[in-house]
Structure 1
Amino acid sequence: MTPEELAGVREDLEAFAAELFDGFFRADQRRWGQTYVRGLLLDGRRKSVEPMAARLGEDGNRQALAHFITSSPWDPAHVRARLAWRMHEAIGPEALIIDDTGFLKDGDASACVARQYTGTAGKVTNCQVGVSVHLATDRASAAIDWRLFLPASWDPASPQADADKVARRTRCGVPAQVGHVEKWQLALDMIDETRSWGVDVPLVVADAGYGDAAAFRHGLEERDLSYAVGICGRHTAHPARARPVQPAYAGTGRPPKMQYPEPARTMKDLVIAAGKAAARPVSWREGSRPGPGRSGFKRMYSRFVALRIRPAGRGIRRTVDDPELPE
């Protein structure tokens, strides 16, 4: 970029940061909030305060930045709401994506660190996990809300509590009222918060880490939200054409509940039973392997089967007593 272009980018960034922190009562909070955002966007792998302050040059007051992050009270929901409004206008979202990210940790100074699975490393390792929601289209996305996941080992009220981790709560700044909450519930809470800001949620998208939880799917239905979520093939269901029937009964007591004539089958078995003829090839964005695509890379490709089913299992609240069970 030319010096003039760089100056223009800086002006735009400063205006954006000023908009985010405009509601702060104290001028020093507005100043260091804007400086912190600028520091996050500068080149450099480490985003902790000390290396960030060094990259900021004359604006890099390490003590002031650290105070803004650790000791200067401000409401993050206010900043997130302003960010959500700005990104909603800029992106024109077609979906709200639920995801989580692992932050690998070696020491014991960070809150909520535990041995847990993270896709960042592709294995169980020592890390923090943050759950986030993103406004997205096929051209752009932006995280607008997020929560730090507190493992059960950090919750003194949990049977899985770890004494060492519980003892670290105060030192790590974990509020006494914060306990273990499942990731899918954190996601629902953030969806509620996002909607309270007046941000429209046209469609919720999530992987099987959330879609496998029947309570999460029910929560979306209760909020009257359309969704597309992943699930594991081991979950069970009945074909769409299956209907519950009343078993023969000639007694005087309470009649038995309605039942499906055939046992539920796994999703994998239902797809296999549909046969190869039901599969349809679909290709989408270009991947990372060299190929004939417009950008010089192969397009992602697979075959998909679309089936209407009637979910089964203990996690399904609606019962087969309801013949109008939705597909």
Structure 2
Amino acid sequence: MSGVALSTRAGQRVRPVPAHPGTRDVVLAELCAALFASLPRSDQRRRGEAYVRGLLGARGRKSIRNIAALTGGQAAEQSLHHFIASSTWEWAPVRRALAHYLARVSPPQAWVVRPMVIPKAGDNSVGVDRRFCPAVGQVLNAQQAVGVWAASVERSSPVNWRLHLSDAWLADGARRDQASIPDSVRPETLGECTVEAYLGMMRDWGLPPRPLVLDAREADAPAVFQRLRATGVPVLARVGSSLRMVVADPAVPGRSPEALPAHQIMGAARDMRRPVMWRDHGPARTVRTALTAAVRVGLPTRAAPGHPVRRRDLLLLGVGENGRQWPAELWVTDMVNVPPAALVRLGKLIDRVDRDFTEIADEVGVRDFAGRSFSGWHRHVTLASAAHAVAALTGRYEAGHRLERVS
């Protein structure tokens, strides 16, 4: 935990970060100046700002045509299409600048990894495949991506993206060529995609260390933990009830040397539950309560013959409500000395990200790119992330209301 800011101690109120004091136009200009400093040509910088402004101001779907309608019609549409689909500017330096800007003006309490499913009618867009979507419980024709968000209780904003490409896509030379997928892109599981989305930015961007919060119920949680813990990052992961772990806490009734499902461990720890309270910083700003039980556990590991098995303690956290099914949520973390109330508040940042995705990211068109190219998709979501940051820092929005548009 050394060097990691976790400003959520039990009983401590988190001081809200004030919204950016400037108007939206001022913040837009300031942010774009920082973001596009890496673009070598002034016309590219102008188009970048025009695109972000269009994402904030265009009505309906954020197509290049609708964006260009705000800035100059057909000629603008052609230039913006080239700027997104086939220009040569790199998106990674722009994302890095965005992450540093947000770390300065709205410091995150954690980096939150969130999946993004983009339903599609056809099969030409890069990465489109038939996928089972747990959120809706059905198979969809869709793209699948992973976003990394800078998150606090007041606001959250995406700073990095990784597009998950199936083996079928990457093994098809014709489709790779059509979408201009770089040779460096190799097959990976969704869990590996999740880890790389985070590690890819933390390796070289010089960002402040913060805990990583993610939902690992659909991933290979042990593999994700092993990879992340090797880097020393503090992790809080929501996990499925069937994840098997070895109980290391002697206070748990029926403790066994064998690995047990997480829900069975938490069922045995029912009498260890304690109430926690936290303040919800959403529109209602109410004090909420829950019951938690924390059990020290280890993930099953395989040792080489003749070598002892080494396990580092983790904490299995059960969260639920009195009188309801126990547990409602299961979390695993290596922050074993952090109070449960602080871990609950940290886990709630996933809800903050989900809310901001619906109320802001979707409103500025993060899922609206209709092109076919790999680089075009990445450039679009990069600029949509910039538009999201402007809206999150300056907008006045409440749950259930549409994002205020810029004329």
Shorter-normalised TM-score: what interval? 0.7 to 0.9
Alpha-carbon distance between aligned partners in 1 of 2:75 and 2:302, rounded to the nearest angstrom: 55
Query: Against the structure 1 CA distance between its residues 298 and 85, is the aligned structure 2 distance closer, same or farther, given a 3 Å change threshold?
Result: closer
Which sections of structure 2, spanning at least 5 residues, go unmatched? 1-21, 314-407
Cα deviation, residue 67, structure 1: 0.5
Alpha-carbon distance between aligned partners in 1 of 2:129 and 2:281, rounded to the nearest angstrom: 33
Asked if 1:308 corresponds to 2:308, the answer is no
Alpha-carbon distance between aligned partners in 1 of 2:154 and 2:281, rounded to the nearest angstrom: 15
Larger CA deviation: 117-126 vs 139-148: 117-126
Cα pair 2:302 2:309 within 8 Å, conserved: no
Give the match for residue 155 of structure 2: 140
Query: Against the structure 1 CA distance between its residues 108 and 264, is the aligned structure 2 distance closer, same or farther, given a 3 Å change threshold?
Result: closer
Per-residue Cα deviation, 1:69-99 (whole angstroms, up to 9, x for no partner): 0111111111011111101111212211111
Cα pair 1:282 1:303 within 8 Å, conserved: yes
Query: Against the structure 1 CA distance between its residues 14 and 298, is the aligned structure 2 distance closer, same or farther, given a 3 Å change threshold?
Result: closer
**How do 1:169-188 and structure 2 match up within 5 A?**
169-188=176-195
Alpha-carbon distance between aligned partners in 2 of 1:126 and 1:186, rounded to the nearest angstrom: 19
Query: Against the structure 1 CA distance between its residues 198 and 286, is the aligned structure 2 distance closer, same or farther, given a 3 Å change threshold?
Result: closer
SS of structure 2 residue aligned to 1:92: coil
Aligned pair partner of 1:234 in 238, 242, 247: 242
Alpha-carbon distance between aligned partners in 1 of 2:257 and 2:227, rounded to the nearest angstrom: 28
Asked if 1:33 corresponds to 2:37, the answer is no
Query: Against the structure 1 CA distance between its residues 26 and 66, is the aligned structure 2 distance closer, same or farther, given a 3 Å change threshold?
Result: same
Asked if 1:63 corresponds to 2:49, the answer is no
Cα deviation, residue 126, structure 1: 0.7
Tell me the TM-score normalized by structure 1: 0.77
**How do 1:233-252 and structure 2 match up within 5 A?**
233-241=241-249
Alpha-carbon distance between aligned partners in 1 of 2:24 and 2:259, rounded to the nearest angstrom: 58
Give the match for residue 175 of structure 2: 168
Cα pair 1:132 1:143 within 8 Å, conserved: yes
Aligned pair partner of 1:214 in 222, 226, 231: 222
**More contact order relative to length (CA 8 Å, sep ≥ 6):** 2
Asked if 1:15 corresponds to 2:30, the answer is yes
SS of structure 2 residue aligned to 1:32: helix
RMSD: 3.0
Cα pair 1:279 1:304 within 8 Å, conserved: yes
Per-residue Cα deviation, 1:158-197 (whole angstroms, up to 9, x for no partner): xxxxx6xx54332223234423222332333333332211
Alpha-carbon distance between aligned partners in 2 of 1:59 and 1:29, rounded to the nearest angstrom: 18
Percent of matched pairs sharing the same residue: 29
How many residues are paired up?
A: 286
Per-residue Cα deviation, 1:242-282 (whole angstroms, up to 9, x for no partner): 7xxxxxxxxxxxxxxxxx9743221111111123x222344
Query: Against the structure 1 CA distance between its residues 220 and 300, is the aligned structure 2 distance closer, same or farther, given a 3 Å change threshold?
Result: same
Per-residue Cα deviation, 1:222-249 (whole angstroms, up to 9, x for no partner): 101111101111122222147xxxxxxx
Per-residue Cα deviation, 1:101-125 (whole angstroms, up to 9, x for no partner): 1111001231000111335645320
Which residue type is aligned with residue 308 of structure 1? R
Which residue type is aligned with residue 310 of structure 1? G
Tell me the TM-score normalized by structure 2: 0.63
Query: Against the structure 1 CA distance between its residues 13 and 119, is the aligned structure 2 distance closer, same or farther, given a 3 Å change threshold?
Result: farther
Cα deviation, residue 322, structure 1: 3.3
Query: Against the structure 1 CA distance between its residues 48 and 219, is the aligned structure 2 distance closer, same or farther, given a 3 Å change threshold?
Result: same
SS of structure 1 residue aligned to 2:38: coil
Which residue type is aligned with residue 311 of structure 2? L
Which sections of structure 1, spanning at least 5 residues, go unmatched? 1-6, 157-162, 243-259, 289-293
